[in-house]
Amino acid sequence: MEIHEHVPLGPKTTMRIGGTARYFADLRTQRDVKDVVVFAEEKQLPLVMLGGGSNTIFADGTVEAVVARVTADGVDIEYLRPTLPSPPPEGEGIIVHVQTGKILASLLNELAEQNLDLSPLTGIPGIIGGAMFGNAGQGFEGTWIGSFVKDVTFYHEKQWKTFSQKECEFSYRDSIFKHWPNLSAPHLEPRPQGEGTRPPIIWATTLSVPFRPKEKILADIDAILRRRIETQPHMKTAGSCFKNLPDGTPAWKLIDAARFRGHRVGDIQVAEKHANFLLNTGKATFADATALVRQIQSRISKPLNIEMRFIGSDGSVIF
């Protein structure tokens, strides 16, 4: 494992906001995973896991943390193995093993070529690990990546563990991995929140992906992409900033009602096209983004939970 010092973080995020990481590492092997945890402990610094950077921004200046991302991206489709019959009937779930550094869009396209349908996840940026961490999907009542998951393998508290779909506790833009300080299940010994705990490093997953004719999958991908282009901005953004309300009310409606559409602080702007998207219109800073979020939270009629991750200079999650 190679550890690099003072690595720029802005270019590793889709919003292009962030200073530099005190230390940065790409994790290509399971040995790297173990080593980065030991390294963070030796340096007495927090470990911050980064996915594709599509919903995360970092503090300006130096982030005093070890920032790491999984880059292992292997894919194994079981029905392509010589010992298994092919092709299966339409609709049957096919087992696909994926390492979590795989880019979600690339996986979706590769599986489509093999008549395997992940089209409901079309247009979602980032890597598989980040998508599972936040249970990425479409809309409040849409299809989420968690619905395809059979199990997830991760490293936490110096143990390799595998959780079933049920144990992952997937829900709207959420999973057990977001609540790692209290992460406990039959496979893990409960551990109190506090110094010494580290976030789980999601390493691999087993998916069950429906078999479907390639032509139908590609038609759905095209339709979903066109709809996203029509309704969402495609600039320097981190996607939806806030979660919808528990009753399904879209966050953008509350933001719009408070007249924030188009509002800006510095170079951060609430998108005209979709009021739940924040745009970096130039050289926006972390301070700009946090100020705008706080303005929105202070003026809307109901509290909104943050969907994005704002990582402070000490490596902690501000929002």
CB 222 within 8 A of CB 122: no
Q: Would the CA dihedral through 137, 170, 216, 105 be positive or negative?
A: positive
pLDDT confidence of residue 194? 37
Residue 23 to residue 25: CA distance in whole angstroms? 7
Closest to 308 measured CA to CA, from 242, 228, 236, 232: 242
- pLDDT of 181 reads 64
pLDDT at residue number 84:
60
**Rounded CA separation 110/115 (Å):** 9
The per-residue pLDDT for 131 is 96
Structure letter (DSSP) for residue 283: S
User: Full-prediction pTM beyond 0.85?
Assistant: yes
For residue 67, what are the CA distances in angstroms to 40, 54, 72, 266?
Answer: 9, 15, 16, 27
- Confidence at residue 89, expressed as pLDDT on a 0 to 100 scale: 77
Of 157, 238, 168, the C-alpha closest to 201 is: 157
Which stretches in the chain have pLDDT values below 50?
A: 185-196
Q: How many whole angstroms separate alpha carbon 148 and alpha carbon 165?
A: 9
Domains of the chain: 3-70 (3.30.43.10), 75-218 (3.30.465.10), 233-311 (3.90.78.10)
Tokens representing residue 231 in the block: 């309704």
Q: What is the reported pLDDT for 198? A: 83
